[in-house]
Amino acid sequence: MAFSVEGMDCIECARKIEKAVLALDGVRQVRVSYTLGKLQVEADRGMVAEDDVGDVLRSMGYGLRSEGAPMEDFLSLRNKRLLVTIASGVLLAIGAVGEFILGDMLVYLPAYGAAIVTGGYYIAIRGVASIRRLYLDMNVLMIIAVVGAVLIRSYEEAASIVFLFSLAELLESYSVARTRRSISQLLDFAPRTARLLREGKEQSVDVTDVRVGDVAIVRPGERIPVDGEVLQGESSVEESAITGESIPATKKEGDAVFGGTLNGSGTLDVRVTKRFEDNVISKIVRLVEEAEANKAPSERLVDRFARYYTPVVIAIAVATMFLPTLVFGQPLEEWFYRGLVLLVISCPCALVLSTPVSVVSAISGGARRGVLFKGGLFLERMADVKVVAFDKTGTLTSGRTVVEDIVPFDGYSAREVLKVAASAENRSEHHLARAVMERARSEDIEFEEGTSFQAFTGKGVGIQILDRIVYAGSPQFFRERGIDLSEWEELIEKRTTAGATVVLVGGEEEMMGLLTIRDTPRPEAKEVVHGLKDMGVAVVMLTGDAAPVAEKVARELGIDEYRAGMLPEDKLAAVDEYRQRHGTLLMVGDGINDAPALAKADVGMAMGVAGTDVALEAGDVALMGDDLRSLLFSIRLGRAARKVIKQNIATSLLVKLALTILVFPGVVTLWIAILVGDLGVSLAVILNALRLNRRSFTRT
């Protein structure tokens, strides 16, 4: 069961809810996301109903709405917390006029009392619920502070802190709601209805009712409602909502399109390939929501610190209330009041907020620009990256390899060599195989259906065609099979030295020919390599291609160190070696062939994964688009997030420390403690964190 919780505006709220719901019979697991206002409950079938969860939350002063229901409008008159805060403020103002201008006790005492009751409504409900569950939180501290202020007849102080705390909670709720909306707005890119062609007629249906195989019609200027494949038409499609790339992509028959992207000037007929809940935008939102589970190291540290900080300060507050009177004969009322101020200051809200709000703000900002972090853990690791290891093909290069030349041997024609090569490569998913297949199709060559297909990872393929075994692969692959290449060694050397990849075609009985294949570097790759070096990050390239090919690409891009001819297990060893030599290592690959190396690295980054389900899950960070410059953005975002987190933690601790020191000479009052120590510093932390959602980070 998944729910959205209304009124969950602090970390302590999340912890209380988790503890209370977990206590229900039949509940196996509870996951609460404070920053996203989400509650997920796993329970034994038939043991727990939605109403059971709702009753628990309502008893604690929280609201519950089903997942997907519209978010509560902060400024709506239906917002009860807004109404009680306004009422409390008006009554406080009436009480102040009655006390300091009219001097009439019959005016200000009832007004202050009514201000405390109205403004303290939610405080009392949540505080009593916490007391019943033996949980000490800010609401309990506020109840103690208000009751204490009333006992020492500081009625205006009691009413003031109730109103200010209610206002602080309201403003904090509004600020956090902005962060939550920045994530939910990702879903708003996808239209809620789709125009389908069914039984020869156009009809508009809800996107949740669209089935795989349906045909959607997308007219110029409309957003594409579904993930699918273009059946008919040609248009430019603006995909920045998914990939972060502002330049529109040309889409024609057979090309993949994504829900939420904006169609240009042409009409497209799109065959639906995924249900709405499985489309790319839905997956992005789901992964961002789940990212909170991978907590940043600083967040774990702050959580541990807060567990000790609060009880220590409360102990100091209690000692301040009574020890000066008992030991030094000081006035009880004066020091009791200062102890109450310390109780209010002891709330670690701003400190605990400092990291998660920053992390979610950065993650949601990255997602809007096509960079998907799988959690705060990986966001912080990006700030520590000391070396980047690139795969070559499809990462530093365009990945669109083409057959440049065909050289037949011993009386075979180029067409015959290409036909056999394409027949052998027909079942392979390797990028070189795709290049061979595309060349064969462009020349209208029909493939032979072979049997006994075998793929040799990183080396080549073998297949039985017309009663003979033929291979297509690297020269080294043929040498390992004991095939004599001495007659063609000079030709192979010449082609590889020129930077081409050589694919040989033939069998153990005779060789048929070779193909040369090239893959050009991405236009932005050189800029990215130099950008990394400017940031003090080392750059290496790991590739399975031959040394001459690797050397040519490395020289063009300015990469000082590379390794060629690497199998997947070789890349794993290289990742370990470079990590020990330099420190935190980021591995960048296509997310499929490089999955082991991505998993082994401190941070694995898969790029160009918008349409690939496996690739989307492969890395710790995913670049939805094909622009490698997003890598620079992601490192800068990680460093900026680290800086903001440190600023927030330092600000929270320094303000709390300063207020605590100033309590003892009597400088800090209850309303100052609320206004500065709670409201002021919490808003400062949240607003500072929200900068991460807006900045472009074009500089380091």
How far is Cα 437 from Cα 423, in angstroms, rounded to an integer?
Answer: 8
Token digits of residue 29: 């697991």
- Quick check: 325 pLDDT over 60? yes
- Quick check: 611 pLDDT over 70? no
Asked if 407 and 491 touch (Cβ cutoff 8 Å), the reply is yes
pLDDT in the model for residue 699 = 43
Least confident of 11-15, 72-76, 506-510: 72-76
Percentage of residues of the chain with pLDDT beyond 90:
27
Ramachandran category for residue 356: left, alpha or beta (phi over 0 → left; psi -120 to 50 → alpha)? alpha
pLDDT band of residue 75 (cuts 50, 70, 90) is: low
Percentage of residues of the chain with pLDDT beyond 70:
89
Asked if 426 and 447 touch (Cβ cutoff 8 Å), the reply is yes
Give the pLDDT mean for 449-470.
Answer: 82
Mean pLDDT of the chain: 84
pLDDT in the model for residue 542 = 92
Least confident of 131-140, 314-323, 667-676: 131-140
pLDDT digits (tens, 9 = 90+) for 12-26: 777 788 888 888 888
Give the pLDDT mean for 609-634.
Answer: 78
DSSP-derived secondary structure for 110-127: HHHHHHHHHHTHHHHHHH
CA distance readout (Å), 296 to 239, 357, 373: 30, 11, 12
DSSP-derived secondary structure for 606-663: EES-TT-HHHHHHSSEEE-SS-THHHHHHHHHHHHHHHHHHHHHHHHHHHHHHHHHHH
Nearest to 599 by CA among 618, 571, 615, 621: 618
Asked if 681 and 655 touch (Cβ cutoff 8 Å), the reply is yes
How far is Cα 5 from Cα 177, in angstroms, rounded to an integer?
Answer: 12
More confident residue, 669 or 586: 586
Task: Mark whether 391 is an active-site residue.
Answer: yes
Token digits of residue 616: 């989307």
Asked if 549 and 393 touch (Cβ cutoff 8 Å), the reply is no
pLDDT in the model for residue 174 = 72
Domains and CATH numbers, the chain: 2-66 (3.30.70.100), 193-278 (2.70.150.10), 280-365+638-700 (no CATH), 366-398+521-637 (3.40.50.1000), 402-518 (3.40.1110.10)
- Quick check: 700 pLDDT over 60? no
pLDDT in the model for residue 291 = 64
**Coil, strand or helix at 158:** helix
pLDDT band of residue 183 (cuts 50, 70, 90) is: low
pLDDT digits (tens, 9 = 90+) for 411-455: 899 999 999 899 888 877 677 888 898 899 899 888 887 788 888
- In the chain, the amino acid numbered 609 is V
pLDDT digits (tens, 9 = 90+) for 368-380: 788 888 888 899 8
- Quick check: 282 pLDDT over 80? no
Give the pLDDT mean for 340-348.
Answer: 83
pLDDT in the model for residue 696 = 61
Token digits of residue 422: 């394409």
- Quick check: 677 pLDDT over 60? yes
State CA 579 to chain mean position distance.
24
Asked if 28 and 43 touch (Cβ cutoff 8 Å), the reply is yes
Nearest to 372 by CA among 299, 291, 259: 291
What is the DSSP secondary structure assignment for residue 10, as one 8-state letter? Answer: S
How far is Cα 466 from Cα 472, in angstroms, rounded to an integer?
Answer: 16
pLDDT digits (tens, 9 = 90+) for 150-162: 988 888 888 988 8
Give the pLDDT mean for 624-649.
Answer: 91
Beta bridge partners of 468: 465
Ramachandran category for residue 252: left, alpha or beta (phi over 0 → left; psi -120 to 50 → alpha)? beta
User: DSSP H helical segments within 189-296, as ranges?
Assistant: 240-243, 280-290
- Quick check: 292 pLDDT over 70? no
pLDDT in the model for residue 435 = 87
pLDDT in the model for residue 278 = 81
pLDDT in the model for residue 547 = 84
How far is Cα 179 from Cα 409, in angstroms, rounded to an integer?
Answer: 65
How far is Cα 678 from Cα 349, in angstroms, rounded to an integer?
Answer: 7
pLDDT digits (tens, 9 = 90+) for 590-605: 755 677 888 889 999 9
N-term to C-term CA, the chain: 43
Using the structure block, give the residue that is written with the tokens 């043991």. Answer: 47
User: Residue 581's CB: how many other CB atoms inside 10 A?
Assistant: 12
Give the pTM.
Answer: 0.74
User: Residue 552's CB: how many other CB atoms inside 10 A?
Assistant: 18
Token digits of residue 223: 């957003």
pLDDT in the model for residue 415 = 92
Catalytic residue among 137, 227, 391, 590: 391
pLDDT in the model for residue 288 = 66
